[in-house]
Structure 1
Amino acid sequence: MFPRVTSRSSRTTTLRTRAAVLTVGIGASVALGAGVAAADGTTTAAPSSSSVASAVEAQAQAQAKAAQTAKAAKAEKAAAAKKTAAAKKAAAKKKAASWVDPVKKYELSAKFNQAGGMWSHKHSGQDFAVPTGTNVVAAHGGTVVKTGGNGAGDGPAYGNAIVIKHGNGTYSQYAHLSRIDVKVGQVVTTGQHIAKSGSTGNSSGPHLHFEIRTTPNYGSAVDPVAFLHRQGVTV
């Protein structure tokens, strides 16, 4: 029996065929992402199309959730800013609506409806004993409707006087002034300077005569201390 003889050309063809098959297999693995070789020589299969889609969907959901969280935070911040602005507006409105004492560092002297020889009728307001030149302010915001000597038209007993009309239909009067610093038609705010105290008119000494009226004229006064107490002012 003769030994089998393989020609060189046959062996070459076989090697070439095996190399071609190996090359095609490697190329397919790389191109298709078929798997990754592990350290022990095994191959891990690539994710399927369904698992890739799931991962993409999960990422999209996470991004959507993050966007919703950011939107909610922005809305909350805007709501907080709006609340703060509303609180400031309410505080400003409350401040604008408040009443204050017409002078500071005073002593109460003649009271409302008090009888005495200083007045032809009972006292029509509340006297605040203060030195001449004390700052007099508007007890509440409003519009100046009367100013001048002769009690701004209410009579010489008041001396120099001012009357202010307020938004609630109430009027305040300031008398015996040494100086008037506002004009008729001028709009003033609560606590704004309007005059200096004095002792003009029928006065036994420097003080501010203060009235609350229901009209701009003499004869319509109400108890100013009781009125201020109702507005939250401690007199």
Structure 2
Amino acid sequence: MSPRTTPRNSRTTVIRTRAAVLAAGLGASVALGAGVAVAADTTAASSTAHAVEAQAAAQAKAATAKTDAKKAAAKKAASWVDPVKKYTLSAKFNQAGGMWSAKHSGQDFAVPTGTDVMAAHGGTVVKAGGNGAGDGPAYGNAIVIKHGNGTYSQYAHLSRIDVKIGQVVKTGQHIAKSGSTGNSSGPHLHFEIRTTANYGSAVDPVAFLRSQGVTV
């Protein structure tokens, strides 16, 4: 081997090695770039997924709040109910007329004799019987219920009484049958809301029921 052969071959090997290293580096750069692009796409997709999940969660929360509000409203309305069903409002509270010694003390619900009368709200029966349950013969057969919120409800002109003094009743529970006993010109339920158990403490029953969410 001549002295010139060795250096030329070594130079060629070095050039080839450098070319291989450069190609490998270029390939690595391309691969790295592709990896960065994939990572960026994955991050973007993940962000979009989180945004969709957050929106869905917010919508679900809003729907739940709306449902809870409806339930609360329904519960409030159910806490008081009309004392009879399928009625016609007749004589009104504080109405003047020859049927009463003073102005009308309640609201009359015109219904046929024998219509179910229900407790407008849960409470304890404190009066029940003839002679207006102690409030006078004009009321006929009557019932007074004491409620936990400091109010009383009265039901008069009944044809039949189905509860006793001291009995605890629930909202909407049957307590009597409507009639035309006492000072009455026809079958109906005379209904009062009072601040005490006795005559003379009545307030407008329709306004009161409506304030409790009842459609009268």
TM range (shorter): 0.5 to 0.7
Match of 2:108 in 1: 127
CA RMSD after TM alignment = 3.8
- Aligned partner (choices 84, 88, 92) of residue 70 of structure 2: 88
Q: Deviations over 1:66-110 (max 9, x none)?
A: 441243134223323322223322331442366647453335248
Q: Aligned letter for 1:71?
A: E
| 1:195 and 2:186 aligned | no
Q: Aligned letter for 2:53?
A: K
**1-side partners of 2:39 and 2:92: how far apart?**
85
Match of 2:189 in 1: 208
**CA apart distance, 1:175:** 0.6
Question: Any unmatched runs of 5+ in structure 2?
Answer: 1-19
Q: Aligned letter for 1:142?
A: G
TM-score normalized by the length of structure 1: 0.61
- Aligned partner (choices 178, 186, 200) of residue 169 of structure 2: 186
> Residue 146 of structure 1 contacts residue 152 of structure 1 at CA under 8 Å; is this kept in 2?
no
Q: Deviations over 1:165-188 (max 9, x none)?
A: 345533221111123345521121
| 1:159 and 2:169 aligned | no
> Residue 175 of structure 1 contacts residue 209 of structure 1 at CA under 8 Å; is this kept in 2?
yes
Match of 2:122 in 1: 142
| 1:71 and 2:53 aligned | yes
**CA apart distance, 1:120:** 6.0
Q: Aligned letter for 2:125?
A: V
Higher relative contact order (CA 8 A, sep 6+): 2
**1-side partners of 2:52 and 2:34: how far apart?**
27
Q: Percent identity?
A: 63
**CA apart distance, 1:61:** 1.0
**2-side partners of 1:74 and 1:166: how far apart?**
45
> Residue 125 of structure 1 contacts residue 224 of structure 1 at CA under 8 Å; is this kept in 2?
yes
**2-side partners of 1:131 and 1:228: how far apart?**
22
- Aligned partner (choices 189, 200, 206) of residue 219 of structure 1: 200
> Residue 101 of structure 1 contacts residue 233 of structure 1 at CA under 8 Å; is this kept in 2?
no
Q: Aligned letter for 2:146?
A: K
**2-side partners of 1:131 and 1:104: how far apart?**
10
Match of 2:151 in 1: 170
TM-score normalized by the length of structure 2: 0.65
> Residue 76 of structure 2 contacts residue 212 of structure 2 at CA under 8 Å; is this kept in 1?
no
Cα gap change, 1:94/1:223 in structure 2, threshold over 3 Å: closer, same or farther? Answer: closer
SS in 1 for 2:87: coil
Aligned residues: 192
Q: Deviations over 1:127-179 (max 9, x none)?
A: 3443211233444x331433521233434442322223345533221111123
Cα gap change, 1:105/1:119 in structure 2, threshold over 3 Å: closer, same or farther? Answer: closer
Q: Aligned letter for 1:201?
A: G
Question: Any unmatched runs of 5+ in structure 1?
Answer: 1-28, 36-44
> Residue 137 of structure 1 contacts residue 194 of structure 1 at CA under 8 Å; is this kept in 2?
yes
Cα gap change, 1:179/1:52 in structure 2, threshold over 3 Å: closer, same or farther? Answer: same
| 1:58 and 2:40 aligned | yes
**CA apart distance, 1:58:** 1.3
**1-side partners of 2:93 and 2:201: how far apart?**
16
**2-side partners of 1:53 and 1:225: how far apart?**
75
> Residue 126 of structure 2 contacts residue 146 of structure 2 at CA under 8 Å; is this kept in 1?
no
Q: In terms of Rg, which structure is larger?
A: 1
**2-side partners of 1:103 and 1:218: how far apart?**
25
